[in-house]
Structure 1
Amino acid sequence: MRYSTYSVFAMLLISLSSALAQTIPSPKEHFGFDIGDDYHLATYTQTEAYVKKVAVASDRTKLMDIGLTEEGRHQFMLIVSSPANLKNLAHFKEISQKMARAEGLTEDQARAMATEGKAVVWIDGGLHATETVGTHQLIETIYQLTSRKDPETMRILDNTIILLTHANPDGQEIVTNWYMREPKPEKRSLDNVPRLYEKYAGHDNNRDFFIMNLKETQNIGRQLFIEWFPQIMYNHHQAGPAGSVLAGPPYRDPFNYVFDPLMVTGIDALGAAMINRMNAENKPGYTRLGGSVFSTWYNGGLRTTTHFHNMIGLLTEIIGNPTPEEVPLVPSRLIPNGNTPFPVTPQKWHFKQSIDYSVSLNYAVLDYAARYRDELLMNIYRMGKNSIDRGSKDYWGLSPKKIDAINHAFQADPKKPTSNSANAALAQYGFIPRGGGMPVKYYDTIMKAPVLRDPRGFIIPANQPDFATAVKFVNALIRTGIQIQQATADFTVAGKKYPAGSYVVKSDQAFRPHLLDMFEPQDHPNDFQYPGGPPVRPYDAAGWTLAYTMNVQFDRILDGFDGPFKKLPYGELQSPEGHVTGAAGGGYLLSAKANNSFIAVNDLLASGIDVFRLPNGVGGKSTVESGAFFVPASAKAKSLLDKSAKDLGIEVTGIAKKPTTSMAKVSPMRIALWDTYGGSMPSGWVRFLMEQYHFPMKVIYPADIDAGDLKKKFDVIIFVTRAIPPATGADNDIFRGFDREPKEESTPAEYRPWLGKITATKSIPQIKAFLEAGGSVVTIGTSTNLAYHLKLPVKNALTEMTAAGTERPLPNEKYYIPGSVLRVNLDSTQHATWGMPSLTDVYFDASPVFKIAPEAIAKGTVVPLAWFETNKPLRSGWAWGQSYLQDGIAAFMAPIGAGKFYAFGPEITFRAQAQGTFKLLFNQLYGSGKSGSQGSDIVSE
């Protein structure tokens, strides 16, 4: 009897616990306020605790820790679906994977899986932490989906698997703490956050998704491209265009030409569902198409990279702020049109309105996914299958250059039909137009030319000079779900022999759009507001081909090929195999061509081991390039180099005798890196590089420069783009774009040393004195403005004379190059360019280009390092008027007193992606001699 009573009591406890577990805590019960209440934000610590509570209380959830952030926080993904679906989650995940990869599936098999499977939908928030609607709509959506029992919610749960993912935990903590620090609510502001809300990248965390340098990006990328493959991904951002509430799909042209058309029309379908719901709920202000600047051209964003993976990537940009704001009066936005069918009128706007809009948009997407789950699954299969088919045969992709070639072939044909007798003339070519046109033979000339067809694949040889960096490129492909193969033995393709260990990337795979985008040049159209008018600015970059900017050597294979290749498991990262070879009685040589050699050298220097550079290389049978590193033989050096070769994948060559050529002893320099209050993204990326490559450095601010005595503290100062203001004009002392700095009295004391700007009156004289005393200054991008402050004999190469006889910058109608990849010539014998090839691809973003007086070059007053030798340097992207670049100087060095000034116009460290030009910075970060100076401490041994 006693046992029976205990059992009944236990059962009652279980039932009570179960009932309590299904009581989902409301946000107000946890946070103390409703999501969307004015003047209130939640920290990530509070949010994480809330999500854990919900995960315990709800049988509709499974909480996943997808990895650590750059600051060590746990990044969550909450999976929400019906209890029945969650019990069978692995099966539905497998269906999603197989449908996305489309490997070995017949149409009938795919259709059966589509019928059985569930639509997988990704919804994120918080990527850009000052865009606080994103994080808070995520919290409210979690609550709604786990607590509501209405028919729509239950249908969504039954038919979809929802991946609710926080995109930037660190940022939410930083921004919320900044906003909530003010005790009086009405005084709270999101303005002037002191530092980047992602440790290194800040806002650029949404430009990292094809290379995946950052931990948060890697965590998200694994879920998107290796684990789950959602058919729909929804990326929340803000703010919407002035006079509207939000910008959403569909987006303006151009879209990228590698996309499958089903992806583009899939965006249209989801966009229709979203705007229809807004209109049905009487929520005005949704704009689309030409109503906003957002397009689908660029790869690299969280939303846009999914487009290249056959996923329907959605972006909304909505207004909203915990501090109430105004919808401004923009009269042109008040006229209903196809862009904005339901305009919003000027009014006061509260945070809760944006949360409500966002939840409705989420439900619109989820309702569509629930209703069309089988179609979504079937279409991602079809897109993948289309890609496999296109990569398996001769295929010609369309692009503006090919269309231009068709037009040119027609215009150049002396027998082309004339407008006066068009029909008669066209008849002889077998083509009778209706309303115009040209004979199809001109199409066939271009679109069936064997050399112009798309490649069947790419081979990355294992015997290239910087194979470790090539492997980093391969790992970027692997992280984005690309199938990689590796040769298990030597092989030959198209008459060329390749060594074992080479990587092979075939284009007959589902994510062919992304694969091509990483190897092939982007061909952005000439996009102008009207003929002869100003260009339409791309939303981000116009060209970015990663294999080019990383200087990866590869061969583009046009015909089908095979060999002793093994397929690598999806998601399995590669480690290059380095070696220490040769008798090392005299010491060791490290190539200056390999980026990872600089890590090894910095580790050697930190351990007190001598390192030398060989300015003239070493001749003989095994030629060693100028700038190679030499390490004298010792047991300690051998131990460290054995480890470096293994860990870094570098080739270390042991030599029997010390080189007899001249050598310069390498010494570490005291490196300073400029930054500013609020954080500079280019500076953050360089800080990331310095840590990755083991360069000790100190971040400094304008006040540190203005304090003087710089040479006593530092040997080299790095100024990234937008640090140095223009030398002329009204903005001499305040660099336009960075003049919204907080007042000192309103800034917390701990951040006041970060305040200030580089000025012509205070800062430039101190920088000049630093140079004259023997310091080195490296400038990148617009910070090459320093050359004009120093009155060097250089001029802007991109100017023209007006009718009035005055000089002005070339107008955009004549010259316009947004972010693109260009090719420059280099003098690789110079110290500054050691290890670089004589032809190099650089990332160029409206970058400075110079003219140098011939007499200055003759006297050595200015030494050119890189220049544009041709009138067509474009490699990838968009370069209108590129002929103006010919003979322009892209980079130079100038001695100033006892120091050296370096000017690099291209973005040589761009977003930590331009790995092919990192050495242009790294070479300047070593001194010669014990003092760390840039002197000529040359010794012969």
Structure 2
Amino acid sequence: MLKKLLLGVLFLSTSISAQDYFLKKFHPFDANVPSPEEFLGYPIGERHTRHDLIVAYLTKLAEVSDRASIYEYGRTHEDRKLVILTISSPTNMSNLEGLKQQHLKFTDPSQTPTNYDEVPIFINLAYNVHGNEPSSSEAAMLAAYTMTASNNPEVLNYINNAVIFIDPTINPDGRDRHTQWANMYQGSPLVADPQDAEHNEYWPRGRTNHYWFDLNRDWLLGINPESRGKLTWYHEWYPNVVTDFHEMGTQSSYFFEPMKDNASLNPIMPKENYIDLNNLFGEYFSKALDSIGSFYFTKEVFDGTYPGYGSSYPDLQGALALLFEQASSRGHKQTTAFGEITFPFTIRNQYVSSIATVKAAVENKAMMRKYQQDFFKSALTNASKSRVQGYSFGDQYDQNRVKAFVDKLLLHKIDVYKSGNNFVVPTRQPQYRMVQTMFETYEKYRDSVYYDASAWSVANFYNMKYRPVTSLNLGEKVSSLEKLVTPVSLQKSDYAYIIDYDDYNAVAALNHLQSKGLVISSSFKPFTIKTKSGDKQFNYGALVIPVSLQKKDSNTVFKLLENAQKQFKIPVYAVNSGYSSHGIDLGSRYVSPLTKPKAAMIIGDGVRSYEAGEVWHLLDTRVHMPITKIPMRNLGRANLDEYNTLVMVSGNYDLPKEQFEKIKNWVSKGNTLITIGTASKWAIDKKMVKEKLTEKEEDSTKTAQRKPYVDAPENLGKKNVGGAIFKVDLDITHPLAFGYHDDAIPVYKNNSVWLAPSKNEYATVAKYSKDPHIDGFITAKNTEEKLKPSASLIVSKLGGGRVVLFADNPNFRGSWYGTNRLFLNALFLGDKIQIPE
């Protein structure tokens, strides 16, 4: 009945009737403020709205309404605007800065305001972090219009008692990718057949941003400009309530919180958040959705265990973060088991939930303010109860990697101090819970199935050497990244220069200098030599630039090295002699010239876009090196001889025999194939390499134990490794490990690819250690039978070339600075790997 009513309303010829499907409850509206339909020229839900039109409409509201102002908090990779429309009563808007200062007192544990009910509550309505979940951005325009134009007493009460921040599209690049697709294939009349092209996007689809990152996992990691801009804005305003609107499978209904129980044994967010507040707001949502006949569910599937969602990060900032999931029409109309679902219907549920959020927040504003105040005060109280007073960290060999980690801490407003050669993060600070998130690791959990990762101790992402301390020597507080990296000033040499390869940015410098035409060698053994800055010990992989062997004069070479040092802040040393005091000399056969990589990567249907995007992002934004992205559909006619390195990330490579042989023959000519995750499994399964997977034969005579059918999803789910951190033993003499000093490093595993150590004694670069667990959930059976016997990284000979097989993703979510080097070494040093027979 509801669906029939929907379609009848949707196709009424008068625009007022179509608009009233959403807005009839909140009449009268100010005629001077244009509705979305009047501005766009079509009813909301008739087509998908481009991001620039959404921004234009909100900008128009800010121009014509004294209730609104618009703020640009950033730009996407594709230079689309990221905006927030601030809405409140004209009186509140004229005193917004004053209200902000009153509001921020509740987030400062040193302040003790008690006027909880006198300050408007701050609400962030945030939409469309996944680009192909488009209903919420349309709802954002309706919510913005309602709050700026409605003169209904209910709405007037809301804007008097709240400051509402509408972020209409968190992921504009992904949204426009999907919008173009949905509108391009829209039929007239509409086609509801699920098999129609409109409902089935091509790879990489619109979910992700420009580099194919899932921005809903990026709040904690802050890799992309969309997230960094939002985090900067967030820590300026600290809203009390934050929404996170999504879509899910077409056959579902509607989800709102409370969520499934948090899987952590002792969640660091207060119980009041995920028990009391979620249930309180849930009553508002159920009542609102009941009133329009919508079905929904709660307490299933989704959990807030990972702290980097839009629906979990604000929970660690004293707010209540709220997840909504709407069954998607994946286009404009689609047939489901329950009838037809239309785009306007999906929008209405999101709009109704938006208004219900404002209602719940306003009616409980004193409680929400008191909760946020108590949250930050309890951070100090909780920290005081722990013996750990802080965490000390640093790495004497790699200042740029340390700088990147400090940048992450500062992004989250964590206090950091410089103490001697190390840094210290005290636990007793308002961001104590974020300190826990960065450093603490766990072994025990209350659940074994996760919606996302079960491990996120960010210090391990950076392979940061850290330790808890029970007494503090803070030193100077770090307020910026300036002067954190101070390489020795370069002096001119007519003989040679040496770049310390231990630094994270050394690879970017290597690529830069190779692109400028310099011949650069790598040292395959360590040495100690006198430089113009004094004696210096160099590790495996040190980059040697002999001046006399260049095609450029010594002044030009010096200028190129000087500019590279300034750009990348790398340690570069001048030497006048190739004679070393210890180890090899610069003319040794162990100092080998490097070939500039010409890299390609297979992309397209079947390839895991997340991993492909991580490779692309790493090379684009940190190494500044191009990589050719070859669509799977073009592989048959692609000339692989144009490249010396090919990357295959996880995916389903169901290649025709001739294409498989094409890759195999290309590797055999002396080239390097780099495989990650399931691509490594594919190479083994297809017998491209003579390696094996770790397998344990099951006893076929054993009778299966009978279990309740309803428990099947949980029992089967816990067999997977959803995301955990393990320790590997690394052969630091291997070219793939150049730049590392410690033979034990953390790696991230979120797959079930188990590589057996190679039978070649020199080919296993990294193997899981005897006591491998660092952080995250894994079953005891997987630990003993799969993890401990397996390798994380091996190299396998194939003719004159080699295949570098990663079991684990070294570039996970753009954040694993600690293992990026393994992947980059495969690119830049791969052809130097000689595998003894």
TM range (shorter): 0.7 to 0.9
Q: 1: CA distance between counterparts of 2:313 and 2:821?
A: 28
Q: 1: CA distance between counterparts of 2:649 and 2:769?
A: 26
Offset of 1:673 from its aligned partner? 1.3
| 1:558 and 2:480 matched | no
Match of 1:309 in 2: 317
Task: Tell me, yes or no, if the aligned pair for 1:518 and 1:545 is still in contact at 8 Å.
Answer: yes
Offset of 1:356 from its aligned partner? 2.1
Q: 2: CA distance between counterparts of 1:622 and 1:718?
A: 36
| 1:832 and 2:736 matched | yes
| 1:841 and 2:746 matched | yes
Match of 1:642 in 2: 562
Equivalent of 2:485, from 559, 568, 577?
577
Q: Structure 1 242/267 Cα, relative in aligned 2: closer, same or farther at 3 Å?
A: farther
Equivalent of 2:797, from 882, 895, 902?
895
| 1:359 and 2:351 matched | yes
Q: What SS does structure 2 have at the residue aligned with 1:75? A: strand
Percent of residue pairs identical: 20
Match of 1:618 in 2: 527
Q: 1: CA distance between counterparts of 2:717 and 2:176?
A: 45
Task: Tell me, yes or no, if the aligned pair for 1:523 and 1:543 is still in contact at 8 Å.
Answer: no
Deviations 1:154-209 (A, max 9, x none): 11101111110020122222211211123633247142245453444436121111
Q: 2: CA distance between counterparts of 1:628 and 1:316?
A: 51
Offset of 1:302 from its aligned partner? 2.1
Q: 1: CA distance between counterparts of 2:577 and 2:287?
A: 77
Q: Structure 1 847/627 Cα, relative in aligned 2: closer, same or farther at 3 Å?
A: farther
Q: 1: CA distance between counterparts of 2:606 and 2:806?
A: 25
Deviations 1:806-852 (A, max 9, x none): 9xxxx959954321100010111111221133111000112422224
Task: Please show how residues 604-615 of structure 1 align to structure 2 within 5 Å.
Answer: 604-615=513-524
Q: What letter is aligned with 1:869?
A: S
Q: 2: CA distance between counterparts of 1:270 and 1:31?
A: 37
Q: What letter is aligned with 1:776?
A: T
Task: Tell me, yes or no, if the aligned pair for 1:675 and 1:699 is still in contact at 8 Å.
Answer: yes
Q: 2: CA distance between counterparts of 1:609 and 1:266?
A: 64
Q: 1: CA distance between counterparts of 2:205 and 2:334?
A: 24
Q: 2: CA distance between counterparts of 1:152 and 1:813?
A: 46
Q: What SS does structure 2 have at the residue aligned with 1:302? A: coil
RMSD, aligned α-carbons: 2.7
Offset of 1:567 from its aligned partner? 5.5
Task: Tell me, yes or no, if the aligned pair for 1:248 and 1:317 is still in contact at 8 Å.
Answer: no
Match of 1:385 in 2: 377
Match of 1:671 in 2: 599
Q: What SS does structure 2 have at the residue aligned with 1:288? A: coil
Task: Tell me, yes or no, if the aligned pair for 1:283 and 1:357 is still in contact at 8 Å.
Answer: no
Match of 1:157 in 2: 159
Q: 2: CA distance between counterparts of 1:874 and 1:468?
A: 27
Q: What SS does structure 2 have at the residue aligned with 1:542? A: coil
Match of 2:712 in 1: none
Q: What letter is aligned with 2:110?
A: G
Task: Tell me, yes or no, if the aligned pair for 2:737 and 2:822 is still in contact at 8 Å.
Answer: yes
Q: 1: CA distance between counterparts of 2:285 and 2:249?
A: 14
Match of 1:70 in 2: 77
Match of 1:794 in 2: 691
Q: What SS does structure 2 have at the residue aligned with 1:668? A: coil
Q: What SS does structure 2 have at the residue aligned with 1:221? A: helix
Task: Please show how residues 401-480 of structure 1 align to structure 2 within 5 Å.
Answer: 453=387, 455-461=388-394, 464-480=396-412
Q: What letter is aligned with 1:168?
A: N
Offset of 1:130 from its aligned partner? 0.9
Q: What SS does structure 2 have at the residue aligned with 1:287? A: coil
Q: What letter is aligned with 2:689?
A: L
Q: What SS does structure 1 have at the residue aligned with 2:697? A: strand
Match of 2:21 in 1: none
Tell which structure's C-alpha radius of gyration is larger: 1
Q: What SS does structure 2 have at the residue aligned with 1:158? A: helix
Deviations 1:472-501 (A, max 9, x none): 1111122222223334xxxxxxxxxx33xx
| 1:850 and 2:741 matched | no
Offset of 1:565 from its aligned partner? 2.4
Task: Tell me, yes or no, if the aligned pair for 1:589 and 1:653 is still in contact at 8 Å.
Answer: yes
Q: What SS does structure 1 have at the residue aligned with 2:657? A: coil
With normalisation by structure 1, the TM-score equals 0.76
Q: 2: CA distance between counterparts of 1:205 and 1:478?
A: 20
Task: Tell me, yes or no, if the aligned pair for 1:126 and 1:134 is still in contact at 8 Å.
Answer: yes
Match of 2:39 in 1: 30
Match of 2:658 in 1: 762
Task: Please show how residues 869-884 of structure 1 align to structure 2 within 5 Å.
Answer: 869-870=769-770, 872-881=771-780, 882-884=783-785
Offset of 1:799 from its aligned partner? 2.6
| 1:104 and 2:93 matched | no
Match of 2:342 in 1: 350
Match of 2:135 in 1: 133
Q: Structure 1 523/240 Cα, relative in aligned 2: closer, same or farther at 3 Å?
A: farther
Deviations 1:600-636 (A, max 9, x none): 1111111112211000121477431111112235333
Q: What SS does structure 1 have at the residue aligned with 2:198? A: coil
Q: Structure 1 722/365 Cα, relative in aligned 2: closer, same or farther at 3 Å?
A: same
Offset of 1:803 from its aligned partner? 2.6
Deviations 1:385-407 (A, max 9, x none): 1001222x232xxxxxxxxxxxx
Q: 2: CA distance between counterparts of 1:258 and 1:464?
A: 32
Deviations 1:222-266 (A, max 9, x none): 111x21111110010012684533343344332562212233235
Deviations 1:721-779 (A, max 9, x none): 1154xxxxxxxx3xxxxxxxxxxxxxxxxxxxxxxxxx152321111101111111000
Deviations 1:682-713 (A, max 9, x none): 10111000112122221112244323652x21
Q: 2: CA distance between counterparts of 1:383 and 1:362?
A: 25
Offset of 1:507 from its aligned partner? 1.4
Farther-moved stretch of structure 1 (584-593 vs 770-779): 584-593
Q: Structure 1 304/762 Cα, relative in aligned 2: closer, same or farther at 3 Å?
A: farther
Farther-moved stretch of structure 1 (618-627 vs 88-97): 618-627
Q: 2: CA distance between counterparts of 1:851 and 1:644?
A: 41
Farther-moved stretch of structure 1 (250-259 vs 51-60): 250-259
Q: 1: CA distance between counterparts of 2:573 and 2:536?
A: 11
- Unaligned runs of 5+ residues in structure 1 are 1-19, 329-345, 396-452, 488-497, 528-535, 725-732, 734-758, 937-941
Match of 2:438 in 1: 518
Task: Tell me, yes or no, if the aligned pair for 1:277 and 1:361 is still in contact at 8 Å.
Answer: no
Q: What letter is aligned with 2:644?
A: D
Match of 1:507 in 2: 427
Match of 2:630 in 1: 700
Task: Please show how residues 732-743 of structure 1 align to structure 2 within 5 Å.
Answer: 733=654
Q: What letter is aligned with 2:736?
A: A
Q: What letter is aligned with 1:477?
A: L
Q: What letter is aligned with 1:50?
A: Y
Q: Structure 1 619/915 Cα, relative in aligned 2: closer, same or farther at 3 Å?
A: same
Offset of 1:300 from its aligned partner? 1.8
Q: What SS does structure 2 have at the residue aligned with 1:325? A: strand
Q: 2: CA distance between counterparts of 1:505 and 1:824?
A: 27
Task: Tell me, yes or no, if the aligned pair for 2:250 and 2:336 is still in contact at 8 Å.
Answer: no
Q: What letter is aligned with 2:257?
A: G
Match of 1:777 in 2: 673
Q: Structure 1 798/546 Cα, relative in aligned 2: closer, same or farther at 3 Å?
A: farther
Farther-moved stretch of structure 1 (844-853 vs 85-94): 844-853
With normalisation by structure 2, the TM-score equals 0.86
Q: Structure 1 799/846 Cα, relative in aligned 2: closer, same or farther at 3 Å?
A: farther
Match of 1:865 in 2: 765
| 1:171 and 2:171 matched | no
- Unaligned runs of 5+ residues in structure 2 are 1-28, 192-196, 530-534, 548-553, 579-585, 704-714
Task: Please show how residues 34-49 of structure 1 align to structure 2 within 5 Å.
Answer: 34-37=43-46, 40-49=47-56
Q: What letter is aligned with 2:214?
A: D
Q: What SS does structure 1 have at the residue aligned with 2:468? A: strand
Q: Structure 1 244/381 Cα, relative in aligned 2: closer, same or farther at 3 Å?
A: same
Q: What SS does structure 2 have at the residue aligned with 1:778? A: strand
Task: Tell me, yes or no, if the aligned pair for 2:131 and 2:175 is still in contact at 8 Å.
Answer: yes
Q: What letter is aligned with 1:821?
A: I
| 1:81 and 2:10 matched | no
